[in-house]
């Protein structure tokens, strides 16, 4: 029998939840949500678990990841209990639960810790440039090397173990037994959702939602391909016109779209942009800076303004390092992985239930 945890509400508030306690259980949010079905009674069910602090129920739930925050529930909530924002906060909380290092939770809850980490990385990059004797080629070389090591390291030591933990909490621990065959067959869903964000299209097909989906998708592709272009096609050092133009397009797509996103968060018009947490700001601003600084670096190279390049590259490298060492493993970046894996695990559960 689950026990009420009276302290959970205070905990989830630290992750950004707003006024969810005002909920009087009318169920409008569930009724209005186009992603909620007879079997998926979110967000109401999750509001209830959060109110009572039923952590085990929440930890084993994939439902927060199935929501793409169109904000209808918050707009139509008769008590202004912000169910959409609670779902968002639960995703942050779950990210912290999955993370074996515990750093995610610390950074989500403590802005000072976040800032300190960012500053420490800035110091490290400046220190690094000092040790190279401010040598441009060496810094670019180290930067390139760092990218590859960071990707491999973060993936194998942080992201992979965390996804295994997610699997443990949501599949293994609740005792859902799935055959290897099902795992293999369902695998295609992982990639379909990762690269099409199909679930997003389940939200009410308004013009705004379609636009959000499209921009989101372009951003994902832009980001992944820029990563590939810089790391494996060595964009900053390449001579290939095709690769150069590709990189420009990708980085431009990133900073234009993130600029639009930042604008929306500043204007706070839509429900999903009303309450931005530090982690949201860092994510969207750093993504913008990544695209923008990469664009500028390549521009300076192309216009042969070599004199100015060193410090611009150091800025770019700082942004990159902060991104790769903080935002990707412990920040909002992980939602890209968890959402796709949630869809994958959900397929497993549904397959199992169907049998």
One of 24, 112, 242, 303 touching another protein (CB under 8 A): 24
* Shortest CB 97 distance to another protein, Å: 20
Is residue 31 close enough to count as binding another protein by CB under 8 A?
no
* Shortest CB 351 distance to another protein, Å: 23
Q: Which of 272, 182, 291, 171 is CA-nearest to residue 227? A: 291
The nearer residue to another protein, 27 or 205, going by C-beta atoms, is 27
* Shortest CB 9 distance to another protein, Å: 6
* Shortest CB 175 distance to another protein, Å: 18
Q: Which residues contact 8 (CB under 8 A, 6 or more apart)?
A: 50, 52, 53, 55
* Shortest CB 79 distance to another protein, Å: 8
* Shortest CB 105 distance to another protein, Å: 21
* CB distance 76 to 29 below 8 Å: yes
Binding mask 32-51 for another protein (x = CB under 8 A): ---------x---x--xx-x
Is residue 319 close enough to count as binding another protein by CB under 8 A?
no
The nearer residue to another protein, 50 or 97, going by C-beta atoms, is 50
Report CA 209 to chain centroid distance, whole Å. Answer: 18
CA terminus-to-terminus distance, the chain: 28
Q: Which of 183, 189, 218, 212 is CA-nearest to residue 200? A: 212
* Shortest CB 78 distance to another protein, Å: 12
Q: Which of 299, 296, 297, 309 is CA-nearest to residue 136? A: 309
* CB distance 352 to 178 below 8 Å: yes
* Shortest CB 1 distance to another protein, Å: 5
- List the interface residues with another protein, window 60-99 (CB under 8 A): 79
* CB distance 42 to 11 below 8 Å: no
The nearer residue to another protein, 3 or 234, going by C-beta atoms, is 3
Q: Which of 189, 198, 161 is CA-nearest to residue 348? A: 189
Structure tokens at 263: 């604008």
The nearer residue to another protein, 21 or 182, going by C-beta atoms, is 21
Whether the link from the prior residue into 195 is cis, omega within 30° of 0, is no
- The window from 2-10, 192-200, 253-261, 318-326 that contacts another protein (CB under 8 A) reads 2-10
In angstroms, rounded to a whole number, what is the distance separating the alpha carbons of residues 248 and 245? 5
* Shortest CB 355 distance to another protein, Å: 24
Structure tokens at 8: 């959970």
The nearer residue to another protein, 2 or 123, going by C-beta atoms, is 2
* CB distance 310 to 326 below 8 Å: no
Is residue 59 close enough to count as binding another protein by CB under 8 A?
no
* Shortest CB 94 distance to another protein, Å: 19
- The window from 14-22, 89-97, 102-110, 217-225 that contacts another protein (CB under 8 A) reads 14-22
Q: Is 107 left (phi over 0), alpha (psi -120 to 50) or beta?
A: alpha
Residue with tokens 């397929």: 347
Is residue 22 close enough to count as binding another protein by CB under 8 A?
yes
Binding mask 163-202 for another protein (x = CB under 8 A): ----------------------------------------
* CB distance 256 to 218 below 8 Å: no
In angstroms, rounded to a whole number, what is the distance separating the alpha carbons of residues 302 and 296? 10
* CB distance 330 to 157 below 8 Å: no
Is residue 19 close enough to count as binding another protein by CB under 8 A?
yes
Number of residues that bind another protein (CB under 8 A): 20
Task: Kindly list the residues in this chain that would bind another protein in the complex (CB under 8 A).
Answer: 1-4, 6, 9, 19, 21-25, 41, 45, 48-49, 51-52, 54, 79
């Amino acid at each position: 029998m689950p026990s009420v945890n009276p302290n959970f509400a205070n905990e989830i508030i630290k992750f950004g939840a707003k006024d969810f306690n005002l909920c009087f259980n009318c169920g409008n949010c569930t009724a209005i949500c186009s992603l909620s079905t007879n079997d998926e009674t979110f967000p109401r069910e999750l509001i209830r678990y959060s109110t009572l602090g039923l952590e085990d129920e929440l930890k084993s739930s994939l439902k927060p990841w199935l929501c793409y925050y169109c904000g209808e529930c918050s707009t139509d909530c008769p008590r202004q209990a912000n169910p959409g924002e609670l779902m968002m906060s639960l995703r942050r909380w779950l990210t912290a639960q999955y993370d074996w290092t515990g750093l995610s939770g610390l950074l989500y809850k403590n802005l000072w810790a976040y800032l300190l980490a960012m500053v420490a990385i800035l110091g490290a990059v400046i220190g690094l440039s000092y040790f190279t004797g401010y040598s441009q080629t060496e810094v670019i070389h180290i930067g390139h090397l760092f990218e590859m090591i960071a990707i491999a390291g973060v993936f194998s030591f942080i992201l992979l173990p965390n996804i295994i933990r997610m699997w443990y909490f949501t599949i293994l621990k609740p005792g859902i037994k799935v055959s290897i065959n099902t795992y293999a067959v369902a695998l295609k869903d992982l990639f379909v959702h990762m690269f099409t964000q199909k679930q997003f299209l389940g939200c009410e097909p308004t013009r705004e939602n379609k636009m959000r989906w499209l921009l989101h998708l372009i951003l994902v592709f832009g980001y992944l391909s820029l990563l590939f272009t810089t790391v494996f096609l060595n964009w900053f050092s390449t001579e290939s016109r095709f690769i150069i133009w590709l990189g420009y397009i990708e980085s431009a797509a990133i900073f234009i779209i993130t600029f639009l996103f930042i604008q929306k968060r500043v204007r706070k018009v839509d429900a999903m942009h009303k309450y931005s947490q530090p982690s949201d700001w860092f994510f969207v601003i750093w993504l913008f800076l990544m695209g923008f600084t990469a664009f500028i670096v390549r521009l300076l190279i192309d216009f042969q303004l070599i004199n100015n390049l060193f410090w611009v590259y150091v800025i770019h490298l700082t942004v990159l390092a902060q991104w790769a060492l903080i935002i990707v493993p412990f920040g909002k970046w992980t939602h890209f992985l968890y959402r796709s894996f949630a869809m994958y695990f959900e397929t497993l559960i549904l397959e199992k239930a169907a049998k």
